Amino acid sequence: MTYTELSRAELEELREKLSKEYRAYCESGLSLDLSRGKPAADQLDLSNALLSISSEIDYQSRGGMDCRNYGDTYGLPEMRGFFSSLTGIPAENIIVGGNSSLSMMYDTLSRAMLFGVADSPRPWCREEKLRFLCPAPGYDRHFGVTETLGFELITVPMTESGPDMDEVERLVASDASIKGIWCVPKYSNPTGITYSDETVRRLASMKCAAPDFRIMWDNAYFVHEIYGEGDFLLDIFEEAKRAGNENRVFYFTSTSKITFPGAGVAMMAASDQNLAQIKPLIAAQTIGPDKLNQLRHLAFLRDADGVRAQMKKQAECIRPKFDLLLETLDLELRSCGIADWSEPNGGYFVSLDLLDGCASRVYQYAKAAGVTLTGAGATFPYGKDPCDKNLRLAPTYPSLADLASAVKVLITVIKLVSVEKLLEA
């Protein structure tokens, strides 16, 4: 029987029982964290060879460059080749940066503000109004970048197959102040879905009022499979080229969750015309990235097969945690009719939808019982979930035992808050 089918008396009885359980958790002094989309220590251990590999590798690149010195502003050719073999993007269209793809995204949009992009009539900062499409639930840091740079954030609903494309097409067709859209196309943060072929094709070919509209294609989880062979994602560059919109795509990824977050290697890719505009600006900004880290990563990961082998090991660490979380949600909440959640094949997150108006209270109650969740609203522009119902669960960082304890508390809290809401209605 679902909670909505219970009588008032039954709900009150349930509230009593759940409150008692909840109070016991509050008194047990837990300190658990489900908020961080970070690898756990056992995952980081998988890359420890990177810490000692420096003394084993020659510091020369394949082309004979001394990687201890300045040079190769856009990355070592072999590192660009490495990312090319992983992404299918020609090496000439790839720029390897520092340790963070997020900072490459920030830089890309900052440059657009200051100088425009390849098809801009003027720098974006000279436009009267700037807007950016933010599919939500989405990644809070994306929204933060565009908010910081002064864009008005426009929420677009996420569906099972990607952003609601009817809405995206409607908005971009008529509003030239909409300069772009954020996309995490594979194992999306946080819903875990992968964009359908149709979504990729529509994004690549849609008519945009802005001549310099850009897709921020953040493929952060491109090799991050957990279950099965992995989701298929259509090549957006191919589709954009076919539609005559090659310049529309800025592509990003990194090895952050392949090796070490914060000490990995990031890349971006773009069309020839985009790179012709961007490269001199990058050359003015830096004399080059950390090539020794690129050499270390090449020596450690070697090639696409090496990455796949590494990601199988990563999945073995992560899978038991996703299994535990998903099985517990299923067992405890499926029949109650008070929550719905994503069941991703990869990535780092499970997106949880509660009854309307419950997310903030669940966050607060969980916090008081010693379980930290990602803030309610964080997955929406300006940190405001209009229905106050979405929470992002990140099961990778705690140990399996801590995760089990945290999920138990969470289940009680969700049930209690839902019962309270139903009684208030």
Ligand X SMILES: Cc1ncc(COP(=O)(O)O)c(C=O)c1O
- Interface with ligand X by CB under 6 A: which residues? 37, 100-102, 139, 184, 189, 218, 220, 254, 256, 261, 266
Nearest to 117 by CA among 268, 321, 304: 268
Beta bridge partners of 159: 162
Nearer to ligand X, 135 or 370 (CB): 135
For residue 46, the SS3 value is coil
Least separation in angstroms between residue 218's CB and ligand X is 5
Beta-ladder partners of 352: 341, 391
Q: How far apart are CA 45 and CA 264, in angstroms?
A: 14
CB of residue 303 vs ligand X: minimum separation in angstroms? 20
Smallest distance, Å, CB 222 to ligand X? 11
Question: For 124, which DSSP code?
Answer: G
Degrees to nearest 5, angle at CA 137 with 132 and 139: 65
Q: Which of 343, 380, 342, 335 is nearest to 359 (CA)?
A: 380
Nearer to ligand X (CB atom), residue 110 or residue 254: 254
Q: Could you tell me the strand order of the sheet in which 390-393 lies?
A: 339-341, 350-354, 390-393
Radius of gyration of the chain (CA): 23
Cβ-contact 194, 188 below 8 angstroms: yes
Write down the least CB distance from residue 223 to ligand X, Å.
13
- Nearest residue (CB) to ligand X, 43 versus 100: 100
Closest separation between CB of residue 75 and ligand X, Å?
14
Q: Of 69, 52, 132, 89, whose CA–CA distance to 287 is shortest?
A: 69
Backbone torsions φ then ψ of 340, nearest 5 degrees: -140, 150
Q: For residues 95 and 333, which CB has a smaller minimum distance to ligand X in the complex? A: 95
Q: 35 vs 412, which CB is nearer to ligand X?
A: 35
Q: How near is the Cβ of 37 to ligand X at its closest, in Å?
A: 5
Q: Is 149 helix (H, G, I), strand (E, B) or coil?
A: coil
Residue number, 137 or 288, with CB nearest to ligand X: 137
The interaxial angle of helices 101-115 and 272-285, nearest 10 deg, is 100
Stated as kind and residue range, the H or E segment containing 152 is strand 152-159
Which CB atom, from 146 or from 254, has the smaller least distance to ligand X? 254
Closest separation in Å from C-beta 415 to ligand X: 29
- In whole angstroms, the minimum distance from the beta carbon of 214 to ligand X comes to 16
Helices (H), 2-156: 8-27, 41-45, 49-52, 77-87, 101-115, 140-148
Q: Considering the complex, what minimum distance in angstroms separates the CB of residue 268 from ligand X?
A: 10
Q: Cβ closer to ligand X: 98 or 370?
A: 98
Token pair for 408: 């138990």
What's the token pair of residue 421? Answer: 């809401």
**Is the CB of 99 or the CB of 277 nearer to ligand X?**
99
